[in-house]
Structure 1
Amino acid sequence: MLFFLFASNVEAKTIGAFSNFRITYFGQKTGYLKKQNKSYYVLNLKPCEDLAPMRVKHVLLNSNGSERSGQSTLRCGQRATYSNWASPGYIYSLKMARENWWDGSAAITGSWSPDSY
């Protein structure tokens, strides 16, 4: 009788959800999530209700407030992955802001993860 035992080291990615998250031109940070592996980060924005099509600026920040990605924009209702130079094992937040200085504040809903897989 032969028995095979397979062990795998599986780590689940952490996902942060936000609802009616208020952003302005100057930006607002999400809560912190721990990065599990060296991968892209993910941002998923639900369609913006009662607003004209809107683009949201975002950047990944470490716990000291230093940027760990370039600044990018994403339109409400879309999902995308972004490159970064963040290190696994540390915590990060996502800073999101309105694209234009003349835009007022807005509430957005969606989710994000520091890891794409």
Structure 2
Amino acid sequence: MKKITGLIILGLVIIGTASEVNARQIGEFSSFKVNYSGSEKFTGYLTKATTGRNGVVNLSNDTGTAWITANMKNSEGAYRGGTTVQRGKRAEFKTSNAVAGYKYRMGMRKTNDTGGGSVTIKGSWSPDSH
């Protein structure tokens, strides 16, 4: 009887521990019109699952080769990591001072003033890679 009770308690501890693990959130964006001189275009907020884990942005391979600056910011607009990435590419970035359980959003803009005005991008991002 003690052995069965011990196994039941062990099982409950394992289940309780597993439910505390947060899943990585991935946000998608499309039809984002960004340019060099305008303000950043922001995604919705996602919650960071793991402190110290890199963030990631993945741009779809659509027409054009524009470089995009992607900056992760908290709800107060403070920078928490970022990178530059070309359309059709994936880039990871350090998430300095970003903490698990807090919400962040991705701000994007065209990196260079190459003429042509704005570009339209789509893709996905996460405050936590893998």
TM-score (norm 2): 0.78
Report the aligned-residue RMSD: 1.8
Q: Does 1:80 align with 2:91?
A: yes
Partner of 2:79, secondary structure, is: coil
Contact 1:29–1:95 (CA under 8 A) maintained in structure 2: yes
Q: Deviations over 1:26-76 (max 9, x none)?
A: 321111111111111110111122x2x11111111000011112x421011
Q: Does 1:91 align with 2:74?
A: no
Residue from 56, 61, 66 that aligns with 1:47 = 61
Q: Deviations over 1:4-23 (max 9, x none)?
A: 73432432111110111111
Tell me which stretches of 4 or more aligned residues in structure 1 moved more than 3 Å.
Answer: 1-7
Matched length: 114
Long gaps (5+) in structure 2: none
Residue from 36, 42, 61 that aligns with 2:49 = 36
Task: Give the letter for the 2:43 counterpart.
Answer: T
Find the aligned partners of 1:19 and 1:59 in 2 and give their Cα distance: 17
Partner of 1:68, secondary structure, is: strand
- Using the aligned pairs only, state the percent identity: 35
Q: Does 1:112 align with 2:125?
A: yes
Structure 1 range deviating more: 59-68 or 97-106:
97-106
Q: Which has the higher contact order (CA 8 A, sep 6+)?
A: 1
Task: Give the letter for the 2:112 counterpart.
Answer: N
Find the aligned partners of 1:72 and 1:11 in 2 and give their Cα distance: 25
Greater helix content: 2
User: Following TM superposition, by how much is the alpha carbon of 1:102 offset from its aligned partner in structure 2, in angstroms?
Assistant: 4.5
Long gaps (5+) in structure 1: none
Contact 1:42–1:82 (CA under 8 A) maintained in structure 2: yes
